[in-house]
Amino acid sequence: MVHMVEPLREVASMLHVDMDSFFVSVELLDRPDLVGQPVVSAHDTARSVISSASYEARRFGVRSAMPVGRAKQLCPQLVLLPPTFEKYRKASREVMRIFEEFTPLVEPLSIDEAFLDVAGSLRLFGTPSEIARQLRERIRSETGLPASVGLAGTKFIAKLASQRAKPDGILEIPPAQTLAFLHPLPIGAMWGVGQATARTLQSRAIHTVGDLAREPLASLRRLVGDASAQRLHDLANGRDARSVNTTRIEKSIGHEETFAFDEPDPTVLRRELLRLSTRTGERLRAAGIEARTIAIKVRWSNFETLSRSRTLTEATNATQRIYHTACELFDGLDARGKPVRLIGVRAEQLQAEGSDVAALWSDDEDWRAVDQAVDDVKSRFGAAGVKSASLLAGRGPIVDPRSLQPPS
């Protein structure tokens, strides 16, 4: 296999565009009366967490993923707007369309951010900084949304630059100034350096990215392992060979749900595993991909969280194969009626459909035919057109899947 190496850039033609407080900004388009106030996107329930916070809310210490109860303590006048994800998806599509009018080399990272390689667009649209300015103006004029843009010679530096350009700004780091920008930053600015790794590095007096860059590679390997050491050392020295990938396959696909009330009934839990497996299988088939590994996540009522996975002999996107594997993994937890707060199913190690040359399971062949028929009916008549008989019984109350915080 030939790996493409990103050439060294003379200009900052790698852009990272990140929408500012995206969910809240979209909501404020319909609620202009709330502009300038501390606003968050979140359900006003005991188990909810903050999805997105305005910069006015952040001044009170309110942050994404914070429990709603804690956010209200920090900011009693906080305004909560329930998330409306279809609006966010629509706004995201509009923003991505604008990106693609400037360059075909767009790599979405999530619903509200993307890398753009504009090296081939300079003759049409001007310098990278002019392109960044035009992008922000187009996004603002056509969607009403603010965006921040980082420009650099590599992905890593462009993303760091966009973070420091927020809110609603542009920061360009010319390639020749990469190390001058990078080395004074704290070690926590590095991709892949969490609290535990930061403590390990700081124990060796490695406090800044510059300290990391100067640390001998052999010493880093002893501290964080071979793979992490090489990656961190390269990034700290401004080396990042990754190019924009326009055909990126998701690393995993899955769904999880949090019960409004802790659920001990194994029948209800199996029914939920089937529903989640069905949704996961449908997404795999729609994307034309299969999974070699099936995983589950279970959070008990005491907030202990367990994950289990199994790598299959052959990749699959058959709903029943996903479901049976998920059930076997769940049975292996020996739940014994323990109340469950959250349950999830995830497909991992994704690959293009049909990549395996080995023979498929015979029962998968039958289930694939069933899946195809079900998918066809749903495409014609909608999701309500057909569903498993096991799903016709009540599921019980479900709350937002990101509502994961412990009770206050």
Respond yes or no: is residue 365 known to be catalytic.
Answer: no
CA-to-CA distance for 288 and 274, rounded, in angstroms? 21
Measured in residues, the chain has a length of 408
CA triplet 50, 53, 57: central angle to 5 degrees?
A: 115
CA-to-CA distance for 370 and 319, rounded, in angstroms? 9
CA-to-CA distance for 285 and 304, rounded, in angstroms? 33
- The amino acid occupying position 269 is L
Sequence-separated (6 or more) residues with CB below 8 Å from residue 48 = 42, 67, 68, 399, 400, 402, 403
CA-to-CA distance for 388 and 278, rounded, in angstroms? 9
Residue 88: CA count within 13 A, CB half-sphere:
19
Sequence-separated (6 or more) residues with CB below 8 Å from residue 277 = 319, 320, 322, 323, 326, 345
Q: Find out whether 192 and 232 touch, Cβ atoms under 8 Å.
A: yes
For residue 340, give the H/E element and its range: strand 340-352
Sequence-separated (6 or more) residues with CB below 8 Å from residue 195 = none
Per DSSP bridges, beta strands 39-41 and 52-53 are antiparallel
Per DSSP bridges, beta strands 147-152 and 170-172 are parallel
In whole angstroms, what separates CA 178 from the centre of its chain?
27
Determine which one of 56, 113, 257, 282 is catalytic: 113
Give CA separation, 362 vs 64, 318, 358, in Å: 46, 12, 12
- In the structure encoding, which two tokens stand for residue 301, read together? 């009522």
CA-to-CA distance for 83 and 276, rounded, in angstroms? 21
Nearest Cα to 145, choosing from 188, 92, 218, 101?
92
Q: Which residues are catalytic?
A: 113
